[in-house]
Chain A
């Protein structure tokens, strides 16, 4: 009970200090009266009695203070009064306060923004129950040089039937379907999934039912689950949707459920979820088609799971027959091995390195900001030296003085933290809106309690860091020294100067590290921009996907005809110079399968290297601006006649036949069962996996073929149109395109309309993102460093006015004085640059993974940064140094 009493009384006193004081004063007064009355009663005169009573009480005020100082609330009250004092002092110097708060707020804001990205992308678990148990079932096949292999249907069944480590196994594939009969025909993104897929994630439809095993049966009715967004936008959130049928690619699907609004998967736009209808009996061993996910049993580690998967991989050939056309030992020679990843790591990828690099960068900016504020605080504390010394002499404990100085710093840093948080919030809004970074999980980035705690933490840490420097320098008990060496000493003592010079050196050194970092990023960016990606003027290439469902046009050749008809219509649009089609746009990959060459007979036990397969129409290479190194392009006649021809990339031609020209006339095929196809042309390499990755070997086949990959007639129903026109990216062009496609077939939606330029930019996005942020950080660091130098020199000039006056009076030439200060600035920046370069040599090694074609110790960058910084530092010290020449010796000597 008494704790409550303590708390309640204390709060009452805090709330009304005056009443509490009055109460104490009244009691002391009443005590005095009682004592006086008692003394009078014992026979003293009233005056004498009062005098005696007072003297017994010794000092009424002291008693009041003694009584008053009891209680926990007094500790708070005195802290509050110190805080008020600190706030008043900060308000009293708005210039200093504004600059400090802005500087720090930038540092804290940048750090908070990057941290909230790290928190949202890397640290926060995925939004599924027990998400740490969900793994992505990836593989690798060193035997056929495949780093990343997805999941085969055969393996899906093997894992589901034989595993000892998974609670559930699921398989999925991203797909899209054209939805007709619901408003305009529209290409809608979706997922094809096995029936336990949602169970692996641990999510359920909020309306209706999840998939069950019978939904996968090819004989049962087709089912679909809608996303919340699609349900609301297309069906107005109508709860009677269950059981309704919608047309996907022409087939009726019954709506069986609606997902919760929070459902998301791998950052993909998902409007529809449709069961993968696999017939186990038809599945062959080599059936890599999809991605796998699984939920580990509680307590199972990734290593244990990999061991179990390795065991099961050996069982697959016994359960499933090898595909026709493949050698029987293909499984053994591929040496397929598991490469399981937590689903979160699969989603986030290797962005971690970039983000931590940026975190280090903004951390450095914050340190520089702290150094700047510490410098300003030192100047202020220096100005108060005598005041502090007098207070110490009058009996103020140095703990009390230290507390006051520290409180002022903490107040500054917390205010900056609040402003920094606002800045971070704004920065994140910009980041989310611009999508410059193409960050995974970008919609999960927010200022959550963890971020708030982080901001508070770094604000306080920053406040302590820069607050303790003046505390150690000025709150130490050595008053005589400070009182004695007052204002009349001629020049500054070295010791008073040392701390500030050191801070400037630190600032310059840190700025050098950041500038070297940005310099290296600029060089990387330049190197990447100079690489020929294998196509040209991507900004003028409009692209879109169209797919012709089997339910509308069953015959392969008619599909090809319709595609050409659309192509001709687009060709006649004003401003279009050429149009072509492809299965996969540049930088969007393609099937990865082996290619057999006639004159390179495969050894019985090996599979030839995997190549990227793309399917193209005539005119494709000239449209995207790819050079033909040898031979010629396809023709429409060859396409319709299904002539067995192909083109290959230059690197593949060189690898197989050493010379591109030698490739012409050679014969290749994708499997052992197919017809041989003659190489008619060699195309310049295409950086298909990103500008910063090696160009893969690519084979280009015609869009319509016979006896290809075991099917008698092979056609691409979903093709990308590539349109070269200066109008690319405009809304008017899009409308013309819709009209052109609609005039051929009004049921074909246009999907994924974009320019190839945006695809190219995306491949550079991470580099540009890192570059922009590093450049901003480097610029801020440079600015703060220069302000630091400027501040130290100009303060030094103002402190040494008397010395300058004497020198001038004794006849020192003006330039010598300027030189003296500039030299001082140069020494500071020189030492800073030296330390910075050493630091950069060590730290930029950590950046290696984000650099391209430039060494972390690139001499040009280091030299450029050093020269630039020294030049800027000279200017920053020259400007204040000039003021020394304006000193009037008479004034200077008379002052004070």
Chain B
């Protein structure tokens, strides 16, 4: 029963996707695997949420998408960060660190 919670913290999925794509263009599964690997298995991305988020981010203009052939010559939809997306990532990262440091301060207080 005591399976550790691997859900992505609410409201951070967009940021994680943008961050992941800021390194290089990637397809959906690649993004999911990268998040899982880099977080060392702490976060597991639900494919449904991921694909919906990608749709939303693309609609919002943060991402561009195009169908490409991968190394193993399969077709995949590859996402790339746009300039607006990069800007958005900066905003969200700044916002996130402001909030985490606030939470850290709160948790430390009266420790």
Contact = CB atoms under 8 A, between A and B. Distances in A.
Interface of A: 1-2, 5-6, 9, 23-24, 26-28, 30-31, 33-35, 37-38, 56-58, 62-63, 66-67, 70-71
Given A30-B76, A70-B52, A9 B29 contact: no
A603 to B, nearest CB: 94
A38 B29 contact: yes
Contact of B74 (A23, A33, A62): A33
B98 interface: no
The 7 A-B pairs with the shortest beta carbon distances in the complex, nearest first, are A34-B29, A63-B48, A2-B61, A66-B48, A67-B51, A30-B76, A57-B47
A334 to B, nearest CB: 81
Nearest to A36: B29
Contacts of A1: 61, 84
B82 to A, nearest CB: 10
B28 A27 contact: yes
Interface residues of B, number: 23
B55 interface: yes
Nearest to B50: A31
B29 to A, nearest CB: 4
Contacts of B76: 30, 34
Given A30-B27, A30-B77, A33-B74, A5 B48 contact: no
Interface string B17-38: 0000000000111100100000
Contacts of A33: 74
A28 B47 CA distance: 9
A34 B30 CA distance: 8
B3 interface: no
Q: Is the interface of B mostly helix, strand, loop or mixed?
A: helix
B77 to A, nearest CB: 5
B58 to A, nearest CB: 8
A27 B51 contact: yes
A19 to B, nearest CB: 13
A775 B47 CA distance: 70
B42 to A, nearest CB: 17
B26 to A, nearest CB: 11
B60 interface: yes
26 contacts: A1-B61, A2-B59, A2-B84, A9-B59, A23-B77, A27-B51, A30-B75, A30-B77, A34-B27, A34-B29, A34-B76, A35-B29, A37-B72, A37-B74, A38-B33, A58-B47, A58-B48, A62-B48, A63-B47, A63-B51, A66-B48, A67-B51, A67-B52, A67-B55, A70-B59, A71-B59
A31 B30 CA distance: 9
A34 B77 contact: no
B99 interface: no
Contacts of B56: 70
Given A63-B47, A63-B48, A66-B52, A31 B29 contact: yes
Contacts of A6: 59-60
A63 B48 CA distance: 5
Contacts of B52: 66-67, 70
B57 to A, nearest CB: 11
Q: Is the interface of A mostly helix, strand, loop or mixed?
A: helix
Nearest to A1: B61
A33 B27 CA distance: 12
Nearest to B75: A30
A26 B77 contact: yes
Contacts of A23: 77
Contact of B60 (A5, A28, A38, A63): A5
A31 B31 CA distance: 11
A24 B77 CA distance: 10
Interface in B71-105: 72, 74-77, 84
Contact of A31 (B28, B55, B59, B84): B28
B50 to A, nearest CB: 8
Nearest to A23: B77
Contacts of B77: 23, 26-27, 30
A811 B8 CA distance: 77
Contacts of B47: 28, 31, 56-58, 63
Given A34-B74, A58-B47, 15 more contacts: A6-B59, A9-B59, A24-B55, A30-B77, A31-B47, A31-B51, A34-B29, A34-B30, A34-B76, A38-B29, A63-B47, A63-B48, A67-B48, A70-B52, A70-B56
Interface string B43-73: 0000111011001100111000001001010
Nearest to A38: B33
A63 B55 CA distance: 12
B92 to A, nearest CB: 16
A28 B29 CA distance: 10
B75 to A, nearest CB: 6
Contacts of A27: 28, 51, 77
Contacts of B55: 24, 67, 70-71
Contact of B75 (A26, A28, A37, A57): A26
Contacts of B48: 57-58, 62-63, 66-67
Nearest to B33: A38
Nearest to B29: A34
